[in-house]
Structure 1
């Protein structure tokens, strides 16, 4: 958790995180929002009082500096704690980087006004995801993580699912695009995951246009 004036790419955030973990506090600059974030965080999720304290969600003590907070949380508490951490970071105007998923969660000030939202079966929702994050989410589709959706305002979205739960054959992908209303809801079935990536990338670049390169059928008819 740290402050940046410009939203970093996942690669840049990963490098900053690596440097901070290596003890390079100068990788980021001090920021007033960090103290408020830390206070709110430990008020809700206190650090362990000692080694026998199992009530804390943290797997180790928080690493806190003038310009950053690094934290490791217990795997079994991640679903409960991680969304709140992202929310608190956003309220304090901070970058929240998830090194396991390689995802940058930007604060509202660094998001587009008409930002899209990315959700999948596994992992946290991402507001205003960059192209790299969108591509990675599609490439991670699997039997367990079988669904992903990228949605914007006014009922516009693309979504994809794999396997029987999505109405597709094994190894296939059911892909849908909705252009704001049920009558403009389109569907196709693809075998090539790179084609699915292309559909999502097209939509991320221009949510106002129907993604190209595939044969859409009107699902309403």
Structure 2
């Protein structure tokens, strides 16, 4: 099994669920149904991508792979899209470069493992937080549904997430013993710039955590969950 990413051009911001449908059709070879359009940006992206990470040239069945290549099979490429299957062992290093390269070329990059669509700067909103999960890729200007799913994916192995607006302004969540709590508990911290504005609360319900994250992402002026915030200063 490989870790896959897909890149294509969108003229306007689309939802994650639209991206899921596009990706599934691309995997089926249905470019017309996917609605993707040919773009010079896709060609330029593919050219720069394979300069960094060469395409496979040996028969994939013989188990040989160029040292510089993270791919598990040849890329699925057209003038409108690129699907990249990479090894899980190389994904931590390669996937962030792919997302950044797609953004630099003005293309979206879809992560089907987490159902997350990474938008280029031109399609990002204003004021939305970045999402950095314990496991997975950082998402700039994360959509509310992406944040909610990240909360519900928190586990013993994937135990924290951070929502950040800018340096010193963040909300972070830690789950269970890794966060210094009993199994099942959630430690939530938020900081509004200065060290003396750093607070912490402990929650027992995942839905409460999801609500606090939604409040933070929306820029709400008050918390929807009635909880006690203790100063960490």
Q: TM-score under structure 1 normalisation? A: 0.94
Return the alpha-carbon distance in structure 2 between the equivalents of residues 177 and 73 of structure 1.
Answer: 36
Q: How many Å apart are 1:217 and its aligned residue?
A: 2.2
Q: How many Å apart are 1:142 and its aligned residue?
A: 0.8
Does structure 2 conserve the Cα–Cα contact (< 8 Å) formed by 1:14 and 1:99?
Answer: yes
Moved over 3 A (4+): none
Return the alpha-carbon distance in structure 1 between the equivalents of residues 159 and 26 of structure 2.
Answer: 34
Q: How many Å apart are 1:181 and its aligned residue?
A: 1.5
Q: Which residue of 1 aligns with 2:232?
A: 220
Q: Deviations over 1:4-41 (max 9, x none)?
A: 11222111101001111111122201111011100000
Q: Which residue of 1 aligns with 2:200?
A: 187
Of 114-123 and 124-133, the range deviating more from structure 2:
114-123
Of 46-55 and 9-18, the range deviating more from structure 2:
46-55
- Secondary structure (helix, strand or coil) at the match of 1:11 reads helix
Q: Which residue of 2 aligns with 1:3?
A: 9
Determine if the alignment matches structure 1 residue 25 to structure 2 residue 6: no
Return the alpha-carbon distance in structure 2 between the equivalents of residues 54 and 144 of structure 1.
Answer: 30
Aligned ranges 1:53-202 → 2 under 5 Å? 53-55=64-66, 56-153=69-166, 155-202=168-215
- The correspondence for 2:216, drawn from 187, 197, 203, is 203
The CA RMSD measured in Å over matched residues stands at 1.4
Q: What are structure 1's unaligned runs of at least 5 residues? A: none
Does structure 1 conserve the Cα–Cα contact (< 8 Å) formed by 2:163 and 2:170?
Answer: yes
Return the alpha-carbon distance in structure 1 between the equivalents of residues 200 and 210 of structure 2.
Answer: 15
Q: TM-score under structure 2 normalisation? A: 0.90
Return the alpha-carbon distance in structure 2 between the equivalents of residues 113 and 213 of structure 1.
Answer: 25
Q: How many Å apart are 1:115 and its aligned residue?
A: 3.8
Does structure 2 conserve the Cα–Cα contact (< 8 Å) formed by 1:25 and 1:65?
Answer: no
Q: Deviations over 1:136-158 (max 9, x none)?
A: 11111111111111010252211
Return the alpha-carbon distance in structure 2 between the equivalents of residues 152 and 32 of structure 1.
Answer: 33
Return the alpha-carbon distance in structure 2 between the equivalents of residues 220 and 175 of structure 1.
Answer: 12
Return the alpha-carbon distance in structure 2 between the equivalents of residues 189 and 71 of structure 1.
Answer: 41
Q: How many Å apart are 1:214 and its aligned residue?
A: 2.9
- Secondary structure (helix, strand or coil) at the match of 1:124 reads coil
Return the alpha-carbon distance in structure 2 between the equivalents of residues 41 and 177 of structure 1.
Answer: 38
Q: Which residue of 2 aligns with 1:46?
A: 54
- The correspondence for 1:37, drawn from 39, 45, 48, is 45
